[in-house]
Amino acid sequence: MHAAKQHGELKYVCRRYEASDGRESEHNTVLSERHFEFAFPLVTHSLGLDAGEAGLREKLRDHALRLRDATPDTVRQEQASFWEAKVAALTADAETTGRRMTVERDDAAYELLKREYSRLAGEVTKAKARTRQGDGCPLSRR
């Protein structure tokens, strides 16, 4: 999603909706307040249920300090860890999908699993290539 002003209101526009001309997503915009109401609990969940604003501020401050003090070596290590974890997660998902394919008896469900397995296999290949290339973690870009 990306922020955009529409009719004088700040809204978040779904990139998937735009890219697929509405085929892959039901909704194309969300009001910024509704987006915040949805996203805030997701961000603060890892801080604990009672962390509140102070916990969020502390987490953001720690992240900012880590970025400020980052050296090229620590950044590379963080990036490598990100892609290794991504490869592991995608590989596990692909293995699970493969196991489900072996026991599926319904042809339509099997075809769906087959497409998902192919997609995951492609994502694993891309993630492994990015790991070898030393590409950056998209979450740590400044």
Same domain, 82 and 125: yes
CATH of the domain at 77: 1.20.58
What would the two tokens of residue 106 be?
A: 């319904």
Mean pLDDT over the full length of the chain:
77
- Closest by CA position to 92, among listed 122, 119, 114, 124: 124
Considering the domain architecture, whether residues 102 and 75 belong to the same structural domain is answered as yes
Same domain, 96 and 43: no
In one-letter notation, the amino acid at residue 50 is D
Of residues 42, 124, 46, the one with CA closest to residue 85: 124
Tell whether the model's pLDDT for residue 141 goes beyond 70.
Answer: no
Number of domains into which the chain is organized: 2
Domain boundary among 28, 50, 67: 67
From the list 34, 38, 37, 41, the residue with the least C-alpha distance to 56 is: 41
Tell me the pairing of strands 29-31 and 9-13.
antiparallel
Whether this model's pTM surpasses 0.75: no
Quote the strand ranges of 14-62, DSSP E: 29-31
| 42-66 pLDDT per residue, tens | 666 665 555 667 777 787 788 777 7
Together in a domain, 44 and 87: no
Task: Point out the domain boundary residue: 67, 83, 112.
Answer: 67
Q: Note down the domain range covering 23.
A: 2-67
Q: With respect to residue 120, please indicate whether it lies within any of the assigned structural domains.
A: yes
